[in-house]
Amino acid sequence: MNSDHLLQGLKERDPRAVAKAISLVENGDPLADSILASLDESLIDQALVLGITGPPGAGKSTLTNQIISYFRSQGKRIGVIAIDPSSPISGGAILGDRIRMMQHALDNDVVVRSMATRGRLGGLCAATGAAVRIMASSGCSHIIIETVGVGQSEMDIIRLADITALVLAPGLGDDIQAMKAGLLEVADLLVVNKADCAGAETLAMDMEAVARERREKNEGVIEVCMTVASEGKGIKDMLHVVAKIDEEYRQSGEIMKRRMKSHDLEVLDWAVELIKPKFLKMIAESDTSRKGDPRMKAVEILKKL
């Protein structure tokens, strides 16, 4: 398949073309360049990129599935990128990640991609950004990036989203709740899932207080929603709020501002990704003893560039 065929496939909304194009990017295939350079910028501009994050056990996957179903009932074409904290050695994706979208597996208008973290030292942000662009170019008007809200790279990835929903649930335990700390400061939407469980009201009140405080600091339209994702409850209301935030942020220029920031992040991540092989070669050639201060060696390598 050459790049013209692939671009044609994207235009025709062929899910296999999407998968193939993303794989080319991930594998550093030379074809990737011409594909990425020929995507439909207007479709990319229009797409809504929704980040779904939160601690393990909050019900992100169930919620994502319900969101897909709702958007599909409105005839929308959906992209889903699941960031997968998988094995650094086997590179295998977690089984659950692969099967959880089975409900939509036969739907050609639900394009799912697991991005394995695969022990790469970087490039996840770059690759995810490229996947978003490819999906949007193939007509996905709504793209969901789902990631567990811990870890440095996962945080960076959330910055690729136009709007971010933090999913929480009552009774997750102290150290899990602590993980949400950073995300509370970047999320636009605070979703209290498992709203039928004990402690949900208290959690919602806490989240309301956070939202109020952030609104007072003019940090944006911060809203709290309650859902029972396993029963599909609250999904429609939540997505109305997402649509409202999207509209406000597009009018105020906030979406544009965020995209400019994420664009710079992606360029940086690509630059780093593309220079690493050169660095690795220089490290291998520079020294066989591997003794002494790593920082000094890095300084020497940069001097030789």
**Of residues 59-78, those binding a second copy (CB under 8 A):** 61
For residues 51 and 158, is the Cβ–Cβ distance under 8 A?
A: yes
Backbone angles phi, psi at 80, to 5 degrees: -130, 125
Among 7, 10, 24, 32, binds a second copy (CB under 8 A): 32
| Closest distance to a second copy from the beta carbon of 215 (Å) | 16
The one-letter amino acid at 64: T
- Contact stretch for a second copy (CB under 8 A) within 6-14, 74-82, 106-114, 167-175: 167-175
Q: How many chain residues interact with a second copy (CB under 8 A)?
A: 84
Type and span of the H or E element at 184:
helix 174-184
| Closest distance to a second copy from the beta carbon of 16 (Å) | 22
Asked if residue 92 binds a second copy (CB under 8 A), the reply is yes
For residues 24 and 36, is the Cβ–Cβ distance under 8 A?
A: no
Asked if residue 218 binds a second copy (CB under 8 A), the reply is no
Tokens 């050459």 belong to: 2
Asked if residue 41 binds a second copy (CB under 8 A), the reply is yes
Binding to a second copy (CB under 8 A) within 105-124 occurs at: 117, 119-122, 124
For residues 148 and 83, is the Cβ–Cβ distance under 8 A?
A: yes
Tokens 């065929």 belong to: 5
* Nearer CB in complex with a second copy: 218/291: 291
Asked if residue 162 binds a second copy (CB under 8 A), the reply is no
Asked if residue 8 binds a second copy (CB under 8 A), the reply is no
Asked if residue 81 binds a second copy (CB under 8 A), the reply is no
Asked if residue 43 binds a second copy (CB under 8 A), the reply is no
* Nearer CB in complex with a second copy: 81/239: 81
* Nearer CB in complex with a second copy: 2/90: 90
Reduced 3-state DSSP string for 52-104? EEECCCCCHHHHHHHHHHHHHHCCCCEEEEEEECCCCCCCCCCHHHHHCCHHH
| Closest distance to a second copy from the beta carbon of 74 (Å) | 28
Q: CA-to-CA distance for 221 and 302, rounded, in angstroms? A: 44
Asked if residue 209 binds a second copy (CB under 8 A), the reply is no
Among 4, 33, 237, 247, binds a second copy (CB under 8 A): 33
Asked if residue 291 binds a second copy (CB under 8 A), the reply is yes
Sheet holding 48-54, edge to edge: 110-116, 78-84, 142-148, 48-54, 163-168, 189-192, 223-226
Q: CA-to-CA distance for 64 and 246, rounded, in angstroms? A: 18
User: For 116-143, b where at least 16 C-beta lie within 10 A, e where not — what string?
Assistant: bbbeeeebbbbbbbbbbbbbbbbbbbbb
- Contact stretch for a second copy (CB under 8 A) within 1-9, 11-19, 89-97, 105-113: 89-97
| Closest distance to a second copy from the beta carbon of 214 (Å) | 11
- Contact stretch for a second copy (CB under 8 A) within 193-201, 203-211, 235-243, 262-270: 262-270
Tell me whether residue 76 is exposed, middle or buried, using C-beta atoms within 10 angstroms of its C-beta: 0 to 12, 13 to 18, 19 or more: middle
- Contact stretch for a second copy (CB under 8 A) within 69-77, 94-102, 190-198, 233-241: 94-102
Asked if residue 250 binds a second copy (CB under 8 A), the reply is no
